[in-house]
Copies of this chain bind each other. A is one copy, B any other.
Amino acid sequence: MQTFFVDMAVRDYECDLQGVVNNAVYQNYTEHARHEFLKHRGLDFAALTASGLHVMVIRAELDYLRSLRSGDVFRVSVQTERVSRLRMAFVQQITLLPQGTPILNARFVVAAVNAQGRPCFPEQLEHLL
């Protein structure tokens, strides 16, 4: 599978007192890239939810390697992996452009419940693997 990615630029309001992008903002970046990936793969979240399936991030792991700063342009990648029978993960990396210096490694574990509130692994998630 080809790695999906989105290129973005730091916006100054995302930087904090220390002059670097605030730790929480990296979760915004990675979420935006995941949603773009889902759109790209044709996953209709509204339809999924309307059918009673609820998909959610149950665990986030972020390794901060270097900081992004005002003016930086960066790439956010998205890959998927099966974690267990009922779970998958998005494996993501942020790299500084143009050189590709690693900034962040992250992993988001996702689970789903059906209309009855029971854990499930919908076909639509299978298609993302």
A residues near B (Cβ < 8 Å) are: 11-13, 15-17, 19, 22-25, 27-28, 31-32, 35, 39, 56-64, 67, 70-71
Contacts and interface: CB of A to CB of B under 8 A. Distances in A.
A54 to B, nearest CB: 9
Majority SS of interface residues in chain A? mixed
A49 to B, nearest CB: 8
Nearest to A10: B32
Contacts of A13: 16, 22, 24, 28, 31-32
Given A13-B22, A23-B27, A32-B13, A62 B59 contact: yes
A59 B70 contact: no
Given A59-B61, A59-B62, 12 more contacts: A11-B35, A12-B16, A12-B31, A12-B32, A13-B22, A13-B24, A13-B31, A13-B32, A16-B16, A23-B31, A23-B57, A60-B60
